[in-house]
C-alpha cells in the first residue's frame, strides 16, 4: 500500500514540507510506502499554462492512481491554498482521488485562516472524487520549529492532533473494505 504526499509549498524548506517529512517517517514506521512529490518538481511553464499532456506529469498521474491514500499539504497565502497546488490539481484527471482517503494539511501564520481546510481545500479534493476526506490539521507557524526534525512540534497538543489524523489515515488505507462512496458533503 502506498501513500502519496503532495507538497504545494513554493519554498524549501517549508513548514508544510516539514510536516510531510514527519508524516513519511511515521507512516514508514508502520510499514507503509510513501512517495513525496512537490510542485517544485515540475516545469513552472507546464503548471502555469496547464499543459495536461506534458510528460512531466505522467509519473504523478500514475502515483495518484496507485495510491490508497494521499496527504495534501499547503501553506496558506491570502486565506487560500497555494496557486501552484491548484495548478497541479487541475492537471489531474477529473476523478483522480476517487476511492482514496485524503488527509488535508495547512500551515499559516495565524489562526485567522483556520477554516481554509473546510471552505477552500476540502471542496476541491471532493471535486477530484475523494471518497474519504479526513478532518485535517491546520498548524500555525508558531506551533512548529522549522529545522528541528526531532523536535518539530512546539506543544504536545498539536503533535497529538497530527498523530491522530495520521492514525486515522493508516486505519483507512489498511482497511480491507474498499471505499466506494463519495462524501455527500463535498459532492459536486
Rounded-to-integer distance, Cα 144 and Cα 184, Å? 34
pLDDT in tens, 26-85: 999 999 999 999 999 999 999 999 999 999 999 999 999 999 999 999 999 988 999 999
Please list the residues that pair with 69 across neighbouring strands. 3, 101
Residue 188 lies in a domain: no
Contact present, 124 and 157 (Cβ < 8 Å): no
Structural domain of 159: 2-182
Residue 75 lies in a domain: yes
Q: What is the pTM of this model?
A: 0.91
Retrieve residue 132's grid coordinates. 474519504
Rounded-to-integer distance, Cα 66 and Cα 62, Å? 6
CA distances from 89 to 110, 124, 125 (A): 25, 8, 9
Contact present, 86 and 119 (Cβ < 8 Å): no
Rounded-to-integer distance, Cα 141 and Cα 139, Å? 7
Rounded-to-integer distance, Cα 10 and Cα 33, Å? 25
Q: Tally the domains of the chain.
A: 1
Residue 187 lies in a domain: no
Residue 176 lies in a domain: yes
Q: What is the CATH number of the domain that holds 132?
A: 3.40.50.360
Amino acid at each position: 500500500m502506498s501513500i502519496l504526499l503532495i507538497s504545494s509549498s513554493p519554498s524549501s524548506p517549508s513548514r508544510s514540507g516539514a510536516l510531510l517529512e514527519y508524516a513519511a517517517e511515521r507512516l514508514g514506521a508502520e510499514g507503509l510506502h510513501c512517495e513525496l512529490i512537490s510542485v517544485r518538481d515540475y516545469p513552472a511553464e507546464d503548471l502555469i499554462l496547464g499543459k495536461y499532456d506534458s510528460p512531466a506529469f505522467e509519473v504523478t498521474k500514475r502515483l495518484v492512481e496507485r495510491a490508497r491514500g494521499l496527504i495534501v499539504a499547503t501553506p496558506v497565502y491570502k486565506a487560500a491554498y497555494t496557486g501552484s497546488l491548484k495548478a497541479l490539481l487541475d492537471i489531474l484527471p477529473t476523478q483522480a482521488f476517487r476511492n482514496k482517503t485524503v488527509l488535508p494539511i495547512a500551515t499559516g501564520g495565524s489562526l485567522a485562516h483556520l477554516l481554509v481546510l473546510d471552505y477552500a481545500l476540502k471542496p476541491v479534493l471532493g471535486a477530484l472524487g475523494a471518497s474519504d476526506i479526513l478532518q485535517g490539521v491546520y498548524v500555525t507557524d508558531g506551533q512548529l520549529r522549522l529545522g528541528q526534525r526531532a523536535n518539530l512540534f512546539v506543544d504536545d497538543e498539536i503533535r497529538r492532533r497530527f498523530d491522530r489524523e495520521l492514525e486515522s489515515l493508516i486505519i483507512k488505507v489498511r482497511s480491507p473494505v474498499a471505499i466506494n462512496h463519495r462524501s455527500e458533503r463535498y459532492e459536486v
